[in-house]
Structure 1
Amino acid sequence: MQLKNVKRWANSGFAGYYFAILGVFLAFCIRFTLHPLLQSGLPMTFFILNTILIALFFGYKPSLLTVVISAPLALFFFVPPYYSFNMPTPGDLFIYLSYILVAIIAVVIIEWLQRERFKAILVSRVSDSRYRLLAQASYSLRIAQSNENQNNS
């Protein structure tokens, strides 16, 4: 069965974008609070967790917004040299780009899984609807046949 509306599993609207921005803010606050402890370690971990949650509940568009917002924030505040957009060391840059790649791969996988889940729900609803129509038609046919048999008797 070809279903074209499985892309619509997530509600459209501004709620997803609102929660995406709120999540980036909360992830930033948590990471900024832990910065004296973590230093340059785990610069995007909290941002990626936010991205995954947003992808899970609101779809890929708001979650990609979280990547676009959080990548420069993490680079500026949590990758040495701090508070600048100067190029970090190659090792830091590799880790930073790895985080972004992991986030994008997670978003793609979650989107694919959510679409498949929604497709299964739609197929189940269509199947249930067709079963009910078939049962109703069968019942109507039996009633018509029994009325015809009574009229012939």
Structure 2
Amino acid sequence: MHVQNARRWAPRGTRAWLVAAAALAVACDVRMLLHPFIGPFLPGTAFCIAASLVEYFFGLAPALAVMLLGLGIADYLFVPPYAAITVFNQADVVLLISYPLVTLLVIVLIERLRRSQFRAELIASVAQSRYEMLLRHDNERMLARRAIDETHRLLRHLSHHHRTFIFIQALERDALQPADDLKQHSVLPRLPNEIAPGPRFADVDPDDIQRLGKALRPGTHRVRLKTGDGASKLTECVCERFTTHAGDFLVLRIGA
């Protein structure tokens, strides 16, 4: 899989160049400390290591700068005759051929490794993002299907128990507005916005309506229901909860 941004793995800014300059200085100091012991042997090794480390952490451009500057410093300070630029001998030729080849080979391999690593991280990040999108999509589809099923169940419930239906209470404000065709407005208690009355609403004692409107929950409830002779009778009622696409509703009806 081709990823164009794979070559942009290295951090940018002045920090990379400052670290490259520091690595070059450290490599030069280390080589000067070792010079009394090893003489002109391997004059560019310290700079090759410095360029490789800079490449691994900060990318190709700072590493090439360290390599080129290190080549000049190594040839000037650590290849005999020391500190002389007028003499060009076999030692200079060996350094000019071996040091750039080895350093470039190491730098290129590290660059390919870092690009492959960054490309793998990008692909993993994209795959994770797509996986999360699929999970959200599946979750939304499952919730939508559940809401549709609950809506159908609510409709079947209302059609089956329409004669014993007292009221519906919406758990979300303004999800259900009160009906406008109520009779005997002066007799019925004032309803909150989330309650819609049913056919048996007027038969329930107003105090029970107020009580249930504030603390209704799924389960069984006992309310005072008017009978044909005008008396009140304690009656078992059932409250069920339905989750639909329009919100959550509690349906209170008469019956066990």
1:134 Cα offset (Å): 0.4
CA contact (8 A) 2:75 2:95 kept: no
Please give the secondary structure, in 2, of the residue aligned with 1:148. helix
Please give the secondary structure, in 2, of the residue aligned with 1:2. coil
Q: Which structure's residues are more often strand, by fraction?
A: 2
Aligned to 2:89: 88
How many Å separate the matches in 1 of 2:97 and 2:2? 37
How many Å separate the matches in 2 of 1:97 and 1:7? 28
Check 1:96–1:2 CA distance in 2 against 1; reply closer, same or farther (3 A cut).
closer
Q: How does 1:72-151 map to 2 (within 5 A)?
A: 72-85=72-85, 86-89=87-90, 93-151=93-151
**4+ residue stretches of structure 1 with deviation over 3 A?**
none
Structure 2 portions without partners, runs of 5+: 154-256
Q: Deviations over 1:44-88 (max 9, x none)?
A: 111111011000000010000001111110001111111112212
Q: Are 1:57 and 2:57 counterparts?
A: yes
CA contact (8 A) 1:17 1:62 kept: yes
1:100 Cα offset (Å): 1.5
Aligned to 2:162: none
1:97 Cα offset (Å): 1.9
1:96 Cα offset (Å): 4.3
How many Å separate the matches in 1 of 2:17 and 2:97? 24
How many Å separate the matches in 1 of 2:16 and 2:106? 17
TM-score (norm 2): 0.57
CA contact (8 A) 2:52 2:63 kept: yes
Aligned to 1:40: 40
1:2 Cα offset (Å): 3.4
Aligned to 2:24: 24
Give the letter for the 2:137 counterpart. Answer: A
Please give the secondary structure, in 2, of the residue aligned with 1:5. helix
1:118 Cα offset (Å): 0.3
CA contact (8 A) 1:79 1:88 kept: no
1:15 Cα offset (Å): 1.1
1:3 Cα offset (Å): 1.8
Aligned residues: percent identity?
Answer: 31
CA contact (8 A) 2:44 2:95 kept: no
Give the letter for the 1:104 counterpart. Answer: L
Check 1:41–1:96 CA distance in 2 against 1; reply closer, same or farther (3 A cut).
farther
How many Å separate the matches in 2 of 1:93 and 1:132? 58
Kindly tell me the number of residue pairs found equivalent between the two proteins. 152
Please give the secondary structure, in 2, of the residue aligned with 1:82. coil
TM-score (norm 1): 0.94
Aligned to 1:15: 15
CA contact (8 A) 1:44 1:96 kept: no
1:34 Cα offset (Å): 1.3
